[in-house]
Chains A and B, each alone.
Chain A
Amino acid sequence: MFEFLFNFYGYAIFFYATAITLIYFVLAFMGYYNILRNRVRYTEREENILTTYPETAPGISIVAPAFNEEVIILDSITSLLSLNYPTYEIIIVNDGSTDNTLELMISRFELIEVPYAYMEKVACKPFKRTFKSVNPLYDKLIVVDKVNGGTKADAMNAGVNVAKYDYFINTDVDCILSPDTLSKVILPVLDSDIPVLAVGATMRMANGCDFRDGKITRIRPPADFIPTFQETEYLRSYLVAKMGWSAINAIPNVSGGFGLFEKSSVISCGGFDTKSHAEDMDMTLRLIAYKREHKLPYKIVQVPHSLCWTEGPPNLKVLMRQRTRWGRGLLQIFFVHRKFLFNRKYGRMGLIIMPYAFFFELMAPIIEFSGFFFLLFLLYTEQINFNTFWLMLAYVYLIGISISTITIVFDISLRKLYRNLNEYLRLVLFSAFEALLYHPFVVIFTLRGYWQYLTKKNFKWGTMTRQGFSGQNGQDKSSSKAA
């Protein structure tokens, strides 16, 4: 009986890994095709035409919640104010900060409290007041002050209530956007004959980059270990997985760090779920479900360009908080939205997106962790056939590094962002050690998130030590993030 179980487990793991390999290579193929298509279709010329005729450019609201972000808030707003797009507004939602976030904004951007007829289209904690600048240079900026809701989703909802344009961007104040972000994300919306619900773009690590006045002056790979691993991990997720899924309109998640959403659909779905630990994936799934239930056509698009730079976890402690929260969020998604799984009514979401996320995202850490103990057991009981052991190990190892290298090639063929070959080689080199030095931690922290969710421990919205974008490293200013 035991032998049968062992054999079954061994074969199951083998075919599981083979399925992942196959899926990833299919996604890489579709992703590459999608990248090429995007590159030919939208160029700087289309963006220039859009900005030359402001009357044709649809307005976009940028919503960025801020909770105790005094270290980076000024740089972040300065960066957002310098975007190259004719019609947009920046809505900073001060989610009841207890530090000097609000005071700093008021003094730097010459803000005064202004009358505002607030309408609650989606639920959130009470709105207090709005601020606008008396200086015309900052007339795109609106600061919304509200009672702390404890989650990013709650603050986002307040921003959505204030947003005046049909499309809004969901981002964080620790994100720096590329100057051409808005035209790059709105082009696929305009170039579609069916409604586009959301647009995602590639996010990268800001840790190694140089900044001046809230703008990136030099893009580099991160200098620290963890953000370097995460840079490749992000590229893999955006350029291979999401670009691939985008080719068949099956993107499972528009990232919470950066994503463009159609406001009316978000409002129709009731806004962001304040109880969700993965409000981005939850929102994406609910948007798709809404459209499927009402038999309305929709599209979710991913653009390959790197448009958003965010601070990555500088150490294991912060990585643990981040991945534990992601783990909790992922498990919660399957509890809350279990009815979508294998449900034909929800089309690709029910038959492709959810089963994929279930088997290859939710189950993966469990399988990897149990696989490790299974291996230890086999070693202990001397049941390992070393003739084939190394072959299997090479197989698993090669899946990771070949996909990572393909991703780096995609990135460089799209646009060379780093200045020299050595900087790219750093990513290639790190990807060779990812399976040993980074991935095991991600597995453990994700399982910790599952455990926390199942045992219903009190969840804290993790703190993130901010270093700021103006070279303020070492000031030891920390702040906690709403989400």
Chain B
Amino acid sequence: MELSFYLQYYLFYLQNKFMGYPFVIRLTVLIVMGLIFIYILSLIRFVWINLNLRKKERDFAKLSRQVKDRFVAMLGSDEKYGEDRVFQEFEDVILRMNNKTKIQITDLILNTANELKEAGKTVNEDNYRSIIHVLDIPSFWETELMSNNSKRRHIALRKLDNLGNGLTTSVLMRSTNHKNKGLRKQARAAVMKYDNIDPFKFLEDSFDTDFNALDEIMIHHFLVGRQSEGPLPLLSRWVQHAKNHAFKAFMIKEIGFFNQMECAEFLKGLLKTEESKLVRAAIIESLGNLGRQEVEHEIFDMYGISPVEIQTAIINAVAKFKTKIGLDFLTNQFFRTTDNEQKVHLAYAIKQFGEEGKLRLTNLSTNSNEFERKIFDQVNYQLG
């Protein structure tokens, strides 16, 4: 009772004293108290992070000492270990495994497999799969992928893809419409590799409303993965209905990359009707990669009235066709253009015609000005 009375007394005393000061002083007292609080909190967090990191490093090193050699032996062995044998080998680890250990085991096994690959050794895929299944790694990450936390889902998706063991699409589908843009797009790209019913469903709607260059790389990564398991469907199917020009141009480039000759006729038709310069340049580039020389005259006619991006695509395509009329066309354009950068580009394209191109450049240099001769010298030197 007495203590509470004294506390109350001094509290009122301080309050009155504080209220008696001018506003500026009162404000400063509050700010200083806030700053001291922030400073102490930062110091505590600083120490806590350090200790936490040290503990993590120690735990990881300890686990590494316990299992790394066994991983190396199994992954590097030609002998096929069955799941029972793997279980026996790791029984001590399995008995005291928790979620933290599973995260560390994932990193450890991925690091070990990478180290073996970098050292030029073959990783025994059967043993690799047995280990991750016995240690319950894929199902742990699939559970993480169902988490309500988008950061955890994001990490899980990456780990599952790195593990390369496939994943249950129903688990993945939960993230394909997530409000977090990064997670949503990554999940949609992963569907292309892992779904066995309708893997390309997200290509129907131009993949995502915020389609960008990083998505192109992700889709490319998963398409390459899918292709290693069997032929890809014709990508022209998704070009036809695409509304996003960037997505359309990307899919057309992928047609060229995956050498889908069956799509060439479709691309030729599209070249006549398409208006977007981005898409037109992609069509010409892909037709060049597919070696469809029959479009040469059409793209020659287009050259003079097209913007630089399309002109560049035409030059690249013609350099790939390597026809006599193509060489004449490039030579004419070299003298006609006033754009010096395009001149350099044309010279490099002419040089790609091999001996014939080299001869053409030599002949051209006799009627050229000093700058043009420098271009020829540069091209001859760099391409040999």
Interface, chain A (partner B; CB < 8 A): 11, 14, 18, 21, 25, 40-41, 43, 45-46, 49-50, 52-53, 55-56, 58, 114-119, 187, 189-193, 388, 391-392, 394-395, 398-399, 401-402, 405-406, 408-409, 412-413, 416, 421, 424, 428
Contacts and interface: CB of A to CB of B under 8 A. Distances in A.
Nearest to A385: B25
Q: Which 8 pairs between the two chains have the least Cβ-Cβ distance? A: A115-B377, A398-B35, A191-B214, A190-B213, A405-B42, A190-B214, A117-B374, A117-B375
Contacts of A413: 49
Interface string B63-92: 000000000000000000000000000000
Contacts, number: 116
A117 B46 contact: no
B61 interface: no
B27 interface: yes
B45 to A, nearest CB: 5
A49 B212 contact: no
A117 B371 contact: yes
A413 B214 CA distance: 26
Contacts of A401: 39
B151 A40 contact: yes
Contacts of A395: 28, 31-32, 35
Contact of B217 (A50, A118, A119): A50
Contacts of B46: 405, 408-409, 412, 424, 428
B31 A187 contact: no
Interface residues of B, number: 51
Contacts of A25: 38
Given A117-B371, A391-B29, A53 B217 contact: yes
B10 interface: no
A311 B118 CA distance: 34
Interface in B16-33: 24-25, 27-29, 31-32
Given A49-B221, A115-B377, A18 B42 contact: no
A41 to B, nearest CB: 5
B94 interface: no
7 contacts: A25-B38, A53-B221, A58-B213, A193-B210, A395-B31, A402-B35, A428-B46
B35 to A, nearest CB: 4
B32 A391 contact: yes
Contacts of B27: 18
B244 to A, nearest CB: 10
B381 interface: yes
B344 interface: yes
Interface in B204-252: 210-214, 216-218, 220-221, 224
Contacts of B371: 117
B323 interface: no
Interface in B352-384: 371, 374-375, 377-378, 380-382
B37 to A, nearest CB: 9
Contacts of B45: 409
A295 B166 CA distance: 47
B374 A115 contact: yes
B182 A40 contact: yes
Contacts of A409: 42, 45-46, 49
A398 B217 contact: no
Contacts of A187: 214
Nearest to B221: A49
Given A45-B162, A391-B28, A398-B36, A115 B378 contact: yes
A402 B257 contact: no
B50 interface: yes
A413 B48 CA distance: 10
Given A45-B158, A117-B344, A190 B212 contact: yes
Contacts of A41: 182
B374 A11 contact: no
Given A55-B257, A117-B374, A193-B212, A391 B25 contact: yes
B136 interface: no
Contacts of B213: 58, 189-191
A409 B50 CA distance: 10
A187 B46 CA distance: 29
Contacts of B374: 115-118
Nearest to A392: B28
Contacts of B151: 40
A58 B214 CA distance: 11
B375 A424 contact: no
A402 B42 contact: yes
A388 B212 contact: no
B154 interface: yes
B125 interface: no
A45 B114 CA distance: 13
A53 B378 contact: no
Nearest to A58: B213
B160 to A, nearest CB: 11
A187 B38 CA distance: 34
B345 to A, nearest CB: 11
B245 to A, nearest CB: 12
B31 to A, nearest CB: 6
A395 B382 CA distance: 64
A49 B49 contact: no
Contacts of A53: 217, 220-221, 224
B340 interface: yes
B43 interface: yes
Contacts of A428: 43, 46
Nearest to A418: B50
Given A115-B378, A119-B341, A412-B50, A402 B38 contact: yes
Given A40-B151, A115-B381, A409-B46, 18 more contacts: A18-B27, A18-B31, A40-B182, A53-B217, A115-B380, A117-B344, A117-B371, A117-B375, A119-B340, A190-B213, A191-B214, A193-B210, A395-B28, A406-B38, A406-B42, A421-B50, A421-B54, A428-B43
Nearest to A50: B217
Contacts of B158: 43, 45
